[in-house]
Amino acid sequence: PVFAGMNRSAIENFSCVIYNVSLMNCTWQAGRDAPGDTQYFLYWQNSRDDDEMECELYIKDENGRNTGCRFKNVRIEPQKSYFLVNGSSKDLQVQFYDEYIQLYKIEKLMSPSNVTVNCDQTKDYCIIQWQRPQISHSNKDKCFKYEINIKYK
């Protein structure tokens, strides 16, 4: 497809991660041929039923250029979310960048909590218990697999 605007002025290396259940960080780099005064603006739509929203809290580089966004209270929906980053410059038209992302695929899971270890030395066994991490899109225990590394000292 042909995008209006100067070649290689759209952002590059766009990436988002969800952490602590409902926080999301998105980052990008300025297009390599974007004019020096280019400023970028991120819009996203969580699902087709939601309104498109602009980023509320931009992450800026040392020149004051927006290079990322922090979101709170993010809900993970089954359908893909739409992200659009527009650029503006007084000199030239800047290409836009857009992407559809399934949010559950970018969620970084919390570690299990309330880990307890009870060992019975006479019977030579231990019981290790924990609570599964909290996640925003599922309450199914069967979604999780765990690995325990035991190092004897």
pTM of the model: 0.81
pLDDT at 86: 95
Q: Which residue type does 131 have?
A: Q
Given pLDDT bands bounded at 50, 70 and 90, which one contains residue 141?
A: low
Question: Quick check: 27 and 68 in contact, CB under 8 A?
Answer: yes
Domains in the chain, CATH or no CATH each: 12-105 (2.60.40.10)
Work out the percent of the chain whose per-residue pLDDT is above 70: 93
pLDDT, tens digit, 9 for 90 and up, residues 34-49 = 888 999 999 999 988 8
Question: Quick check: 37 and 124 in contact, CB under 8 A?
Answer: no
pLDDT at 138: 63
Mean model confidence pLDDT for the chain: 88
Residue 16: enclosing H or E segment and its boundaries? Answer: strand 12-19
pLDDT at 38: 93
Q: Which residues in 37-141 belong to E strands, given as ranges?
A: 39-45, 53-54, 57-60, 66-71, 81-88, 97-101, 113-120, 125-131
Above 60 in pLDDT, residue 3?
A: no
Given pLDDT bands bounded at 50, 70 and 90, which one contains residue 134?
A: confident
Given pLDDT bands bounded at 50, 70 and 90, which one contains residue 132?
A: confident
Q: Which residue type does 5 have?
A: G
pLDDT, tens digit, 9 for 90 and up, residues 49-93 = 888 999 999 999 998 999 999 999 998 888 899 999 999 999 889
pLDDT at 139: 62
